[in-house]
Structure 1
Amino acid sequence: MSTSGPGKKPAIQITQSDFDKLSLLAESATHVSEAVLDELTAELDRARIVPDNKLRDNIVRMGSHLRYSTNGEGRDVTLVFPGEADIAEGRISILTPIGTALIGLSEGQSIEWVARDGRSHRLTVESVGAATETQKAEPQAS
């Protein structure tokens, strides 16, 4: 398992199309915490950008179905754009602290993330399934 120590983030990869859409979203989003936008921008800045058809299937991208664990509890979710988010259905917006933490991680990687209440958590990606058509959808700022 690939992990990072406290304060050090794991290497991440993002597709060119996700990078383009998320960059636009970060610039145009309203009604979103500045801290979340700053974190998304930081993740985009440190990501290795790869052609859409070159990203391995085990890496979280927009629309990925994945399982992660935090505090000993596993959760199955799909990473989506804000207009598609529905926590009751397990659709996590990229414009949330956990959504921003998940993008670009691969199976087995762990990352520290800070919840809106200021508490720090560590999550580990257990598995990543195929991405849905959401990755082709246009992002909608919220």
Structure 2
Amino acid sequence: MIAKTKDRRLPAITIARSEHARLSNLADMLAERDPHAAEQLAAELDRAKIVDDARMVPGVMRMGSVAEFQIDDEAPQSAELVFPKDADISRQRISVLTPVGAALLGLSAGQSIQWAARDGRVRRLSVIAVHAAEEARAS
């Protein structure tokens, strides 16, 4: 779950209107089967600035985008943010329903977010770069 303490302010995030609607439906459908994942996603959606798809600026982490990021002091890694049915960690495709996937949603390069892992440890994810899906496939 994303940390919600007074001394840790959550970064501003932006989500395209069409993705917000689809992700909200996903969270609603998942509420009974996996309440933790549904709550985590819903919390991110609730605090997001929603913009029309045509007004989304480049460099914001969207569904299908690829992020270069670092968790704590671990080596940087790259992953594409996908819907659960497309998740495949061996292909670096992270579901938006995972703690890392939900944390990445709506962030841009230079932003960081903290959350409490299931073991209670506070983790910090820092975004290094965001590439649009088409841009990532071309490189």
- Answering whether residue 117 of structure 2 is matched by residue 115 of structure 1, we say yes
Match of 1:51 in 2: 52
Match of 2:95 in 1: 93
Tell whether the 8 Å contact from 1:97 to 1:116 is kept in structure 2 after alignment: no
Gaps (5+ residues) in structure 2? 1-5, 135-139
Letter in 2 for 1:81: F
Give the TM-score normalised by the residue count of structure 1: 0.83
Query: RMSD of aligned C-alpha atoms?
Result: 1.6
SS across alignment from 2:107: coil
Letter in 2 for 1:104: G
Distance, in Å, in 1 between the alignment partners of 2:97 and 2:40 is 9
Shift of 1:55: 1.1
Letter in 1 for 2:17: Q
Paired residues in the alignment total 127
Distance, in Å, in 2 between the alignment partners of 1:123 and 1:50 is 24
**How high is the sequence identity, in percent, across the aligned residues?**
46
Tell whether the 8 Å contact from 1:43 to 1:100 is kept in structure 2 after alignment: yes
Shift of 1:113: 2.1
Deviating 4+ runs (over 6 angstroms): none
Match of 2:106 in 1: 104
